[in-house]
Chains A and B, each alone.
Chain A
Amino acid sequence: MSPTEITVNGTTRPCEAGPHTSLLDWLRGQGWTGAKEGCAEGECGACAVLVARPDGPERTRWVSVNACLPPALSYDGQEVITAEGLGTPTAPGQQAALHPVQREMADRGGSQCGYCTPGFVCAMAAEFYRPERDGQTPQDPTEHDHECGPNGFDLHALSGNLCRCTGYRPIRDAAYALGDPDPADPIAGRRDSAAPPARATEISGAGSTFVRPADLPDLLTRLAATPDAVLVAGATDAGVERNLRHTRPPVVLGIDRVEELRELQLTDETVEIGAALTLSEIERGLGGRVRLLDQLFPQFASRLIRNGATLGGNLGTGSPIGDAAPVLLALEAALVLASVDGEREVALADYFTGYRQSVRQPGELIKAVRIPLPLAPHTAFHKIAKRRFDDISSVAIAIALRLEGDTVASVRIGLGGVAATPVRALATEEALTGHAWDADTVARAAGVLAQEGTPLDDHRASARYRSAMLEQSLLRFFDEQGRARAKPLPKDGEGVRDLYENAGEER
C-alpha cells in the first residue's frame, strides 16, 4: 500500500496522522494555520477548506467542508486547498496576490478580527467555482431570492459560517460582487479533469485503525469482523463525537467513496438513493424531482455540512432530531440494509426501535434509501428552530398529502423531536384520512397532532411550545395549500412531473 499523503495547496505531503486526528488538526500541525478551530463541531465554519470531489467521472468539483470533522486520513490521496492556497498577502519585495474572493472580502470590510475569515473565503470560493452559478439575475423574485445575488451567488453557501464581528452585510456584498473565474485560473481549470480517485487506505496507530475499504464486499467483510466499527462518510456526527465527547472507536471505516453506496437510481417504482451520497450530491442529482426533499435540503444544517453529510449517516445515528427521518417517513421510504449475508429491505417506519436504537444488526449497514413512486402531490417540511440557517430542530414535521377531490385520500406525517425516535403521527393521519380537506377537519386533526408524541422541555424549546408547533404545523400547511392553489401552476421540467400522481392537476 502506498504511503498516505495529502496534496495541500498544490504540495503533496505525507500524512502520518492517527485515525482520530481531524483534517484540521493535521493541516494546522503542518503549518497551514489559516484554517481555525472555532467550535469543533461543524457549526462555525472557521475551519472550512476546499476539497476536490468527483463531479461525474471526468470532472472535479471544489466543495467546501468543515475540516474539523473528517479524519485527515479520509483525505489520503486527495487534494485540499486552504485560504493560504488561494492567495498570498504582501510580503517584503512582493506584491499581494489575492484571489478575487479575497480581494472583495478585504476591500469591502469583510474581515474585522479575521479569525472566521479564511473559512468564509473558502466557502465563498467553493460557490465562486460552482459550475451552475450562471451569473444571471434570478427571474422570479421570491423569498429565496433575497438569498441569491445578481451573480447567481447562493447565500446558503455561507450558511455554515459564523462571523461575530461584521454583521455579515459586507460579506454578502463581497459575495454578490464576484464575477466569473478567470479562464486562466488554475483552480477553475482543475475542474475539467477527473477528481483524484479514492484509495484503499489502512493505517493503525494509538490502538485504533482507519480503513478505507476498496469496495462494498471488502467493507461488509470488515464490518462483519468488527461489528463495532464506526462507519464514517463526512464524519459530520462522528467528528462531533470525537471532538466534543472524545469517543475513540478502535476501528473507523471510511465509506465516503465506496461506489456501491453512491448510486442514484430512478425507476418507475422507486427513487433509490445511495447511503454514502452527500446531501449536496443528492440535491443536484435529483434536480428538484422530489419536492419534499427539496424543501428539506436548504433547512438541513449548512452547505458545509451537506457537502459531507449523507442520508446513511443521518439515519444510521438514529438521532430523534435528525431532519431527514421525518421527511423520509412521510415519503414512506424503506432502507436497504446490507451485510455479508445479503440485502434486506426494511420500512423506515419499522426501523427505529428506541433512542438511537434500530433493527439494524451487527455487521449490517444502510446501503440505500428507497422512496416509492408515485409521490404524494402536496407536501411540506416545517422545521421549528431558533435560527433559520443551520440550526437543530426543536420539532420537525413533514407532511405528504393525497387528495381525491376535496377528500383526504391518504396522508403521511413524519415527526422529529417529539419522542425517543422519529415517529409517524398515526392518530393524526387517521383523523384526516377519508375526511373533507377543510378548515374544520384540519382544526380537529391539528388538535390530535398536538397530542402526538411526548415532547420534552430542554434548552431548545419547552414541551408546551413543541406541542403547539405540532398543532400549528397542520394549520400552516392548510393555509399554504390554500395559497398554493390560488397561484398559477409552476412550470416543471419533464420527468419531474412523472414522479407525482395527479401531477398535471395538482402542481
Chain B
Amino acid sequence: MSTPLSQRPPQPVVGLSVAHESADPHVTGAALYTDDLVGRTTNVLHAWPVQAPHAHARVTGLQTDPALQVEGVVRVLTAADVPGVNDSGVKQDEPLFPDEVMYHGHAVCWVLAETVEAARLGAEAVEVAYEPLPSVITLTEAIEQESFQGGQRTVTRGDAAAGLERAAHRFSGEFEFGGQEHFYLETHAALASVDEAGQVFVQSSTQHPTETQEIIAHVLGLRSHEVTVQCLRMGGGFGGKEMQPHGLAAVAALGAVLTGRPVRLRLNRTQDITMTGKRHPFHASWEVGFDQEGHLEALRTTLTSDGGWSLDLSEAVLGRALCHVDNAYYVPDAEFHGRIAQTHKTSQTAFRGFGGPQGMLVLEDILGRCAPALGIDPTELRRRNLYQPGQSTPYGQPVRHAERLEAVLEEVSARADLTTRHTQIASFNATSPHRKRGIACTPVKFGISFNFTAFNQAGALVHVYKDGSVLINHGGTEMGQGLHTKMRQVAATALGLRLSAIRLAPTRTDKVPNTSATAASSGSDLNGGAVKDACEQIRERLTAVAADRLGAPIDDVRFSDGTVSAGDTSLPWSDLVKHAYLERVQLFAAGYYRTEGLHWDGVRMQGEPFKYFAYGAAVSEVEVDGFTGAHTVLRTDIVHDVGDSLSPLVDLGQIEGGFLQGVGWLTLEDLRWDTSDGDGRGRVTTSAASTYKLPSFSELPRELNVHLLEQASEDGAVYGSKAVGEPPLMLAFSVREALRQAVAAFGPTGHSVELGCPSTPEAVFWAVDAAREAAQRDGSGAAAPARTVGARTESAKTDPAYAEGSAPAPTAGESVVTGGLAD
C-alpha cells in the first residue's frame, strides 16, 4: 500500500516550518563535531603533515629519524607503512604518500605524537630532499602547454557553424574567472581507533562515508566490512567534504592500526586551504550569434577547467558545466567543448553547484556583455531567450515545466517592482556623479540528479521499538543543510506520528551500506524516498494489525498524529505497536529508493541525466562607489521553486545561504596563487581568513525578500518537493549583472561592460574607469547619466525591432566585446 512518491497524506508533518533538529544543541554549544570527540577519548595521538615547499618536485630523500628524536613523537607515517594501496582517490591518481610532489603544500608524510605541538615540531624535524621540477600554475600556462588530464567532452546540437553564419549579430570573446575556497567553518577532521577485534572505526567529517570507508579499506588492505565510518555532523561541507576527507581519514586509520592508539587528524585552516581542493576556476572562449530580435541562434564555446594536480571529480564537474551552459535559455545550435587542465595546484573538487555555476556564468556573462551591443535591455534579452514548453536542452532532455521559468521571472519582477525601480535608479544616477546604482534580473534552471546514474539510489533503516518510539537511520550526512530535519519530518509523515516521536541516529556505514555522497542537492530526494519506503513497509504491516484490532477494513485504517483510527474507533500508536510485537510482526525495515527514468550517455553527452529541473529568479539592486569600486547590495528579491517544501524554514535557509555564497564567489572571494618564478611559486597566497575574505554581514543585502514559488508540486520527488541545496547559489548572478548595470551608468549610453570575476572592488573600479574613459571619448562626460535604462526597457517591450531601430544600436560586436566579430 505504498503511496505515490509525491502524494502527501492529510495533516502531513512535512511542510511544517520547524527549526533545525539540532538547533538547541547548536546554540548552546552542546552539538558535537568530530574534533570535539578528542577530549572525550583517551590516549589520543595527534597527526601533523610534512608539507612540501615546491609546486612540483621529486622526493629524492626522506629522513624521519630526526623527528623521532623530538620528545613526544611516536611514529612517522610514510609510503612504506601502507599495507594496501598507496592511493587516496578513486582514479588511482592520488598517492597518499607521494614520491612526486604535485603542488605546493603536498603532504609527503605525517608525524604522530602525544601532543599537537610535538607533532608539529616532529614535522619540522623531518628532512626531505627535493629535486624541483618545472611547474604549470595558471590556466593560461596549461592551455599554452596543452597540459590536460582526463577525457574531453562535447555537447552538440544542430550545427553551430551554420547557426553563427545565419546570425544577424555575432560576437566572440574570452572569459576567465576564479574558483572558490569552501571555507566550511569546521576544517577537515578525522578520529580513528581500532577495537579488540581489529575493526577500524573512523569518525570523519565526510559527505561520503561509504567512499571514505572504501578508501580507508583499500589503503589498509582490508575489506569494507572491517571498516566503519561515522559522521555525527559536519560544520559545513559545500562539496569540499565529498572526496577530500578520504585520504585524511585513511592517514588517521593507518596511524591507529600501526600504533594501536586512537589517532586524531585535524587540519588547521592554513593546512585546509593549502592542501584540499576548491571550486574549479574556468576559462571560456566563445562565439555567439543572435537573430534580429536578440534570440540566440548559436553558441560555440570551449570551457577549460583548472582541475589541479589530479582528476578527483573534475570530469563530473566538467560534465555538469557542459550541461548547464544553456542555463535557462534555448540555444538552437550548440557546440560546447570541455577539457580539464592539469596544473600544479590543489586538486579542485566538488563545490555547491558542481560545475553548473561555472557553465551558467559563461552564458550570463555573454548576455550581459552583448545586451548593450544589441540595444536590448538585459532583462528583456534574457526573457526573450527563456526555454519554452516543448523545447529540449542541447544534450537532449526535454525541459519539463519550462513555463515555470517565465512564471518565476514575472513573479520576481512584480514583487521587486522592477519597472518602477528602473526609473528610480535612472533618476538617482542622473544626479549622482560618483555613486551609481544598477538593477538586474537573472533566472536559474538547474538539473537535479547525479550525472553518474548509479549514485541515484539510497537506503534507510527504520526501527520501531516496543514502546512505540522510532529511530531512523539513513545514508545521508548532515552538514547544516537540514537533511536530518527533513528526514524526521518524512518519517513522521509516513508513520502518522508527531515529530517528537522520531529520533535520528548519526550516519554510519554499518547501519546503511553503499551510500551515495550527500551531494548534488539530492540528499532529501534520495534518502527521503528510502526513509519513506522503510516507514511504509512498517506501516503496511501495522495496518493489518490495526484493522484486526479496530474491526475495520484495511482500507479504512488511518495513521495520523500518533493515533491509528478507522471510522469512529481508534487506538494510540504505542498500543498498536505493543500488540504488533506480541503478534510477532516485524517492527523494523530497510528502505530503498532509486530515481527512475534516468538515462545518460556520458561519452556522447546525450540523454536525460536529470529527474527534473529546479527553477528560480532573482532581482538585485546594487550601488557602486566610483571612487573605489566598493559596492553594496541594497536589495534582493528571490522567487525560487522548491516544489512543495518539505520544511520551509530549512529551504529558506538554503536559498538565502546559497545566494550569499554565490555573491561571495562572484564579487568578493579572490583565491590567489603565487604565479611568479620565485621560491614561492605555486603557493596559495590567500591561505587564511585574513587574506581570503568570505561574505560577512557587510555583504548581506540591506533588504532580502525570498518567496517560494507556490503550487509547484514536483511529482517525481518525495512528497512533491524539490532539491534546494545548490540551485540558489546561481541566483547571485543577479548581483554581478546589477554591478555591470551600475558600472555602465558611469559610461556612455550603450556601453558594454567587461567585468572581472570575482568582481571585487578593484575589478569594479577598473570597469568604472573604462566606462568613464568611454564616456569621455563619447563626449558625454564622466557623469553620463544612465537615464535610458528605464526607458530602454519600455521600448524594448513595445518595439521588438528596437535593436535595429532607434539609437544607440551600435554595430554589433564593434569594440564592445573582446575580439568582436562584426557581422
Contacts and interface: CB of A to CB of B under 8 A. Distances in A.
Given A87-B28, A112-B480, A117-B26, A172 B185 contact: no
A386 interface: yes
B186 A36 contact: yes
Interface string B204-246: 0000000000000000000000000000011111100000000
B653 interface: yes
Contacts of A165: 236, 480, 653, 657
B523 to A, nearest CB: 14
B544 interface: no
Interface in A86-140: 86-90, 96, 98, 101-103, 105-107, 109-118, 121
B184 A113 contact: yes
Contact of B653 (A36, A101, A112, A384): A112
Contacts, number: 245
Contact of B694 (A155, A162, A459, A461): A162
B479 interface: yes
B481 interface: yes
B132 to A, nearest CB: 23
Contacts of A31: 39-40
B529 to A, nearest CB: 23
A487 to B, nearest CB: 16
Given A28-B39, A109-B649, A469-B628, A114 B26 contact: yes
A169 interface: yes
Interface in B23-41: 23-33, 36, 39-40
A41 B690 contact: yes
A115 B704 contact: no
Contacts of B24: 89-90, 96, 98, 102, 106
B627 A83 contact: no
Nearest to B124: A246
Interface in A4-38: 28-29, 31-38
Interface string B160-186: 000000000000000000000011111
B64 interface: no
Contacts of A109: 19-20, 23, 649-650, 652-653
A84 B700 contact: no
A244 B185 contact: no
A462 B762 contact: yes
A266 to B, nearest CB: 33
A44 B688 CA distance: 10
B25 A89 contact: yes
B696 interface: yes
Contacts of A117: 26-27, 29
Interface string A434-466: 000000000000000000000000111110010
A134 B694 CA distance: 32
A38 B20 contact: no
Interface string A151-179: 00001001101111111111010000000
A376 to B, nearest CB: 21
A314 to B, nearest CB: 15
B29 A35 contact: yes
Contact of B688 (A41, A84, A163): A41
B29 A118 contact: yes
A118 B685 CA distance: 30
A155 B25 contact: no
Interface string A380-400: 001011111111100000000
A231 B284 CA distance: 52
B186 A40 contact: no
Nearest to A394: B762
Given A112-B482, A172-B697, A164 B30 contact: no
B20 to A, nearest CB: 6
B261 interface: no
Given A164-B184, A165-B653, A392-B690, A112 B20 contact: yes
B499 to A, nearest CB: 13
Contacts of B702: 146
Nearest to A472: B627
A475 B627 contact: yes
A389 B185 contact: no
Contacts of B699: 387
Nearest to B17: A109
A243 B688 CA distance: 12
Interface of B: 19-20, 22-33, 36, 39-40, 120, 182-187, 233-238, 268-270, 434, 479-482, 627-628, 630, 632, 649-650, 652-653, 656-661, 668, 670, 672, 685-686, 688-691, 693-700, 702, 704, 760-762, 765-766, 769
Given A90-B24, A162-B696, 7 more contacts: A87-B28, A114-B235, A162-B183, A168-B697, A240-B690, A386-B693, A386-B762
